[in-house]
Amino acid sequence: MNVQLFEGERIRLAALDPEKDAEVWSKWTTDPEYLRLLNPDPARPLAPNQAKKQLEELEKDAEKWKNQFHFALRERADDRLLGFVSLYRIEWNHRTSLARLGIGQAPDRGRGYGREALRMILRYAFDELNLHRVGALTFEYNIAALRLLERAGFVIEVRRREAAQREERRWAALMWGLLRDEWRVTRSESDP
């Protein structure tokens, strides 16, 4: 079976392009729901030139530290920027990493792009980079992320109770983990 590493059914993973992507990235930073789902930090909207600088910094850090990979999620049909997916904090000696992904515009969420991106980045992490473990951090208010990670075979390893405050209540931060062998079982069960 010939499986494309960076091309899925509807999306492809590509390099982030600071020149091309800054305008769209900037718009995402003005969407409170996108920011809420991504992390608990206070919203910090970025102008296009600031977004470009942020993307350039990600690129420089990846080159400098060699412990992170950042990809743009692009729709195959029209090359539109949909979101991003990253492997970061890679510890090569332990063969571990954290994964993070975000889908920028509300109409694109819940359409399976995140599931496809996660499947692709896990294949990259386990089959290409030979990692043993991939982790992910979410907050319990992000129901879509909880479902996505659970369906992919991740298990909750750490629950930091009342770690974030949103919407006048406290929420747990959840650290998830997936081991290579678990991923292989989950992947083989979901293959037709």
Both structure tokens of 94: 């332990």
Alpha helices in 41-128 (DSSP H): 48-65, 113-123
By residue count, the chain amounts to 192
In the predicted structure, residue 191 carries a pLDDT above the cut 70: no
CA 110, 112, 114 angle in degrees (round to 5)? 90
Mean pLDDT of the 146-162 span? 97
By C-alpha distance, which of 90, 73, 91 is closest to 82? 73
| pLDDT tens profile 48-86 | 999 999 999 999 998 888 999 999 999 999 999 999 999
pTM: 0.93
Alpha helices per DSSP H over 40-162: 48-65, 113-123, 143-151
Q: Residue 177: in which H helix or E strand, if any?
A: strand 169-179
